[in-house]
């Protein structure tokens, strides 16, 4: 007969993690050796290599990671984690209930009957199944294939349904950054419309209720240069193609958008990245905050273009009669 696990899932999850507050500047290796009763460097390195150490809720394997006062270091008792490597996504956070990843553009979130190519879902499934064939991951939400950035996957069905059913209450902050065509007229604003798919699955927007889903997007213009704008977008609702359609509504479509754009594509990709995700853990209730840098390719579009040097002839130029 199987032993019944003691305590709630939240109690078991918290019991599996020890949290330490950083009170003075230190390297992670030194901090671990001091806090864990003078463990050896070999033991500390083992904790790091087995991905059992998190700094500010991010798995950290670098022994010389610089710690600052106010940070939190968490050590998991779960020793079953394997090293994760993939050129298509980064594993940002992992615990017994969920995974947070940073997906590259061009990678599908999950496959369909028609699309059997490699996906974020299949890559993560292969990873967790190295610890046991019965293990698997569950998709919680999706990013478009050509959108990069932060995504959450669940490790069990209960966690998946909790995240999906209470998504609006659980997610505290969800933001994207985009490069759009043309220079935005306003520094900030809000777009509200109703989104509905037509018969060929193209989403269209109506400023009055057309029976579709109400969508609200808040935007802030970060920079304007070279005929582009760098815009930060905060979703109040998470509808299909919401950002892309709303930027089209403003006549500043996301560059590289084949479906809702204007043909401008200097990067050879959709310039949309999910850079910030803050949510309450569906089991422990802890607030988890994740942020990735703006893609470097986006920033390059805003570098000041060199002006052509005036031709030096050594002689004074006389004005021409026109």
Give catalytic residue positions: 144
Q: If we measure between CA atoms, which residue out of 54, 60, 58, 68 comes closest to residue 25? A: 68
Q: Which ranges in the chain belong to alpha helices (H)?
A: 9-15, 28-35, 41-49, 120-128, 157-165, 167-170, 242-249, 296-300
The kind and range of the H/E element at 153 are: strand 148-154
* Cα distances (Å, whole numbers) of residue 56 to 34, 66, 180, 219: 19, 12, 32, 27
Three-state SS for 213?
strand
Give the CA radius of gyration of the chain. 24
In whole angstroms, give the CA distance from residue 23 to residue 73: 11
Q: Where are the beta strands (DSSP E) in 226-282?
A: 228-235, 272-280
Across the strands, what pairs with 273? 148, 177
Q: Give the Cβ contact number of residue 145 at 10 Å.
A: 16
Total length of the chain: 322
Q: Determine contact, residues 186/253, Cβ cutoff 8 Å.
A: no
Q: Which residues have CB under 8 Å from 212's CB, separation 6+? A: 194, 195, 196, 206
In whole angstroms, give the CA distance from residue 138 to residue 290: 20
Provide the token pair at 302.
């805003």
Provide the token pair at 264.
């401008």
């Amino acid at each position: 007969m199987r032993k019944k696990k003691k305590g709630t899932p939240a109690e078991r999850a918290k019991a599996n993690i020890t949290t330490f507050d950083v009170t003075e500047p230190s390297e992670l290796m030194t901090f671990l050796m001091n806090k864990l009763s003078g463990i050896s460097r070999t033991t500390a390195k083992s904790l790091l290599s087995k991905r059992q150490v998190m700094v500010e809720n991010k798995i950290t394997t670098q022994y010389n990671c610089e710690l600052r006062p106010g940070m939190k270091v968490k050590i998991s008792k779960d020793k079953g984690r394997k090293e994760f490597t993939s050129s298509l996504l980064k594993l940002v956070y992992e615990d017994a209930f969920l995974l947070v990843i940073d997906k590259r553009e061009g990678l599908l979130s999950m496959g369909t009957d028609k699309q059997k190519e490699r996906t974020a879902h299949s890559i993560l499934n292969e990873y967790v199944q190295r610890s046991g064939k019965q293990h698997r991951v569950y998709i919680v939400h999706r990013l478009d294939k050509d959108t990069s950035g932060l995504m959450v996957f669940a490790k069990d069905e209960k966690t998946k349904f909790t995240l999906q059913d209470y998504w609006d209450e659980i997610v505290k902050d969800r933001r994207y950054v985009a490069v759009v065509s043309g220079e935005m007229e306003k520094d900030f604003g809000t777009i509200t419309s109703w989104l509905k798919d037509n018969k060929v699955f193209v989403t269209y927007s109506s400023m009055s209720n057309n029976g579709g889903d109400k969508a609200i997007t808040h935007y802030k213009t970060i920079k304007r240069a070279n005929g582009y704008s760098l815009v930060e977008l905060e979703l109040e609702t998470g509808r299909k193609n919401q950002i892309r359609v709303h930027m089209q509504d403003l006549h500043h479509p996301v560059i590289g958008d084949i479906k809702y754009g204007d043909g401008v594509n200097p990067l050879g990709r959709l310039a949309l990245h999910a850079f910030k995700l803050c949510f309450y853990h569906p089991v422990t209730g802890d607030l988890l905050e994740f942020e990735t840098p703006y893609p470097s390719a986006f920033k390059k579009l805003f570098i000041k273009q060199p002006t052509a040097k005036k031709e030096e002839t050594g002689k004074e130029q006389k004005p021409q009669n026109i």
